[in-house]
Structure 1
Amino acid sequence: MHTQDHWITTPLTEDLLHGALEVERTAHGLLPHRLPAWARAQCDDGQLALAESQPSGVRLVLRTRATAVELETLPTKRVYVGVPQRPDGVYDLLVDGRLAGQGSVAGGNTVTIDMANWGAAESRPGPAGTLRFEGLPGTDKTVEIWLPHNEVTELVALRTDAPVEPVPDRGRRTWLHHGSSISHGSDAASPTTTWPALAASLGGVDLVNLGLGGSALLDPFTARTMRDTPADLLSVKIGINLVNADLMRLRAFTPAVHGFLDTLREGHPTTPLLVISPILCPIHEDTPGPCMPDLDGIADGRIRFRAAGDPKERASGKLTLGVIREELARIVARRAAEDPHLYHLDGRELYGEADAAELPLPDRLHPDAATHRRMGERFAARVFAAGGPFAERESAKSAPDRDATPGREA
């Protein structure tokens, strides 16, 4: 056991954080953001504000001989009225890339959400808490602490029993990905087991995850953020939020996709860019949005969702997942004639009908932990492996197999 005298307190600075696009200094410490302040200022949506401040993919990365690490944080937890308390967010500790511990921080601020009252929310302040990992090897090593993907986390203090220093560039490629709550992590077991984090680990790349729950809506500020963020690999997963928010019709969707991709290409003209259509979601395959909470489910103590649109409305241009998949494949195939680094992946390759029969979506919208693992493994096998769009290559001779290009599956 360590006494307070043995601890070294290291100032929390941006160079210790990976995966965040901006860090805000608060009264308590550091608050990682996944969208910059100028982008946040262009949208007052509370759902987006919550999602971008939940640190999916954000981790502290240290080089140290420390055998014990303490991290003091102030979490913000969500509580849903009439539904059992969500478990505390999970922190994953990695030593030289291998999972070496997990923990949670109790207490913190709470946001109480009433789904039966259109998501009305009430905030209440609470105390910070401390997470401790002990028994680490005393050798020089890389330590990563992945922050909870679904819990806003302010970093208050970092204490160790040996000095720490930032980790220099490890020479790995950076993968910048944007998607919905499914990419954000939804019901994954922990921050390193969201499907993008698993795929990044298997692909040997560094992840910057712009999976934003409820907020993959082709927002121009998200496209400009991605345009201005250094990356070796780019992907965008488009569809489910546009349907469940009932945000636009086909007439607006097509030019919005083109505009989003045009903006990405302004900053990344030749970077491999993968467009991913939605995974299977039976309630919205042929039924438009909006997506609404199932109040009967809430009465039973669980959150489930239902499609509230009318299938007949497809004729007037309302979006369904089937419509979006068909249109994305057409858009990418058309652009590929002039963009040899653009690729397409049908999301049902990650989770399709056979998977839904075996691993149904528990709330009818989000995958569970086992499905995240399956999706991450499949993505790595189709996209990072030899012949895939993100395969590492040293020369044009070993470029990705063009069978993985637009109009065909990755």
Structure 2
Amino acid sequence: MNHVFPRHSKAKLPTAVGGEGCYLIDADGKRYLDGSGGAAVSCLGHGDTEVVEAVKAQLDRLAFAHTGFFTSEPAEELADLLIANAPEGIDRVYLVSGGSEATEAAIKLARQYWVEKGEPQRGKLIARKQSYHGNTIGALSAGGNEWRRAQFGPLLLDVSHIDPCYEYRLRHEGESPEEYGRRAADALEAEIQRLGPENVMGFMAEPVVGATAGALAPAPGYFQRIREICDCHGVLLILDEVMCGMGRTGTLFACEQDGVRPDILCVAKGLGAGYQPIGAMLCTAEIYDTIAQGSGFFQHGHTYMGHPAAAAAGKAVVSAILDRGLLPRVQEMGEKLHAKLTDRFGQHPHVGDIRGRGLFRAIELVEDRDSKEPFDPARGLAARIKKAAFAEGLICYPMSGTLDGRRGDHVLLAPPFIIEEAQLDELVDKLDRAIEASI
């Protein structure tokens, strides 16, 4: 008898028993190429001995000490390492256990900041359609994917959502990428004016959109203009790098490539690389000092925040990314993956767009390339591709609802940073067969 409450009660899953580099192994000995790092988590692959030994060593010293009573050496060291490599002005790290906790903390910090600044009327949050910020009620409210939000509607907070920066779908004919980036960003200005600048506490966005839109990178100048708008109206810029951060796009923090410094920054997934559950919310000194010199107490918290073993894993992972030269490797292998995807699918009659940065790539599938018409949602194309790929021995991340939460399909790829070129070929070959078997 099985007592686990699974994600899907109608799916019978194999049992994972081992991991080796870029592969996971099930109880029958079948090997699966981890082409999406689970959900962009396993950036160092499986079985990294240095990270495993760091966790073991920490457990030998100290497994747990509640942060209401103690700090710990690994938590302090991880925070120092993150800040030493963070965007200018980011000064404090709030360690949590995952991405949803990080984004939830960011929303609550933004609110408390304005209360302690003496502007309690600032309670409105603006985010984007087709975004994903996690599954707690606050994080789900900020997310703009209607399929994920639908059944929980009565519970969700009142968050405004503007259009995403989605060049493939929303850039007008004859409009340059730069012109489109400016127009897409100006939607934030219009929404702030509609709500009243004095009422808006923050704008939340993923620098490169992950699960819900498939490695959707911004148009040139988009985030620079977003930063200008936020500064003009005193609105906090909250960047969610839970999926796209920690080297996934080729720089430790994804926003580095857009030359933008946020006020609050969220990371997770690749921070622990799957070796421990960990996430972090980072903020500026100005935000921290406002709380510290006011009430002195951030009215938030979780039991396992700052967990010593998780922090030890995070420090080992970030150190590995930086010390092993993995960021240049992500850029190099990312370009090779993009080239291989373009060579294989660039003229495919049902592939409309190939996009992304670093080892964070996606293909968007369409019924018709010329009109960009998506497939009928009733076909369940993404689910079919996922199943076919898994049968081939490939783990990838197909999703439906790319356009509006209901229509559109894409396949997200986020392999480990250690992937070899021959494994990129294996990934593309298996994905090709899975798509052909599903369309």
TM-score w.r.t. length of structure 1:
0.26
Of the two structures, which has the highest relative contact order with CA contacts closer than 8 Å and spacing of 6 or more? 2
Query: Higher helix proportion, which one?
Result: 2
Q: Which has the higher strand share?
A: 1
TM-score when scaled to structure 2? Answer: 0.24
